[in-house]
A = this chain, B = another copy of it.
Amino acid sequence: MTYELHYWPTIQGRGEFVRLALEAAGAPYIDIARGPEDAGRGMPAMLRALEARGERHPPFAPPFLKDGDFVVGQTAAILQYVAPTLKLVSRSEQARAWTMQIQLTIADMVTEAHDTHHPIAASLYYEGQKPEALRRAGDFCRARMPKFLQWFERILSQNSAGERFLVGGRLSYADLSLFQLVEGLRYAFPQAAERVLAGTPRIVALHDRVAALPRVAAYLRSERRIPFNEEGIFRRYAELDVG
C-alpha cells in the first residue's frame, strides 16, 4: 500500500516528522503537494483533500496521511497510527504510551520553537511581531530549551535497555523526531543549541546514530529532503539566537 503524505511543499515543517518515519522504514509514499499538477498532484490536490465535504475524518490542517481510504492528521496521531506497520514502535500498550508521551513532548517543544518567531499570531509576518519575538526567544533559549533537552537526556540515561534509543532497545519514531528536533534547533539557534547540547551528550549521540542509518542518510542526501528556510518552523534569525 502506497501512503499519500499531504503537506506544504516548500518546508520541512511538521510534515518532516512523518517523512522521516516513512523514509526510515522504507515505506512507499507519495508526497502529494510536491507532485506535478498535471498528474493530479500539487497544492490543488492537497487542498481538495483538506476540504473534501464527504470526508468522514477531515483533518484540521496539514500534515495528514492517507492510507487507502483512511485519512489521519495531527503529526503525533499519524505517527502513532503508522508506527506499528512501519515497525517503529513496540506493540505493548505501555511502550506505545511512553513513545507517544515522548513524541508529544517533542511536539510541545516544536510549537514553542515556532512561537519564538510568531508569538502573537501565525497569520502575521515575523516583522510584525519582532519585539515580542525577541522577548519570547530569550526565554526559549535560556529556560525552555535547556529544560526540554535535559529531560530527553535524562530519559535516555534512565532507559533500562541502554542509552542507544529513547524507548527500549530499538529504534522508534520518537528517535527520528528527536533527531529532527536537534536538526531544527541547530539550524535556528546555532549558538544557543550548541551551548545546551554540549551538556547533553546522549542526545547528540542519538542524533548522529539516526543520521547514519542507511535509509535516513540516503534520504538526507536526496532532493526529497527540503533544506531549512525562513518559511518553516525552524527559522534562522540571528537576533533570536540568544546564545
Give the B-binding residues of A (Cβ under 8 A): 53-60, 70, 72-74, 76-78, 80-81, 84, 93-94, 97-98, 100-101, 104-105, 108, 111, 115, 119-121, 123-124, 129, 132, 135-136, 139, 143, 148, 151, 154-155, 158-160
Contacts and interface: CB of A to CB of B under 8 A. Distances in A.
B120 A97 contact: no
A119 B136 contact: yes
Contacts of A97: 72, 77-78, 80-81
A60 B108 CA distance: 11
This chain's copy number in the assembly: 2
23 contacts: A56-B159, A56-B160, A58-B151, A58-B155, A72-B101, A73-B101, A74-B100, A74-B104, A76-B76, A76-B100, A76-B104, A77-B100, A80-B80, A81-B97, A84-B93, A115-B115, A115-B119, A119-B119, A119-B136, A120-B135, A123-B143, A124-B139, A132-B135
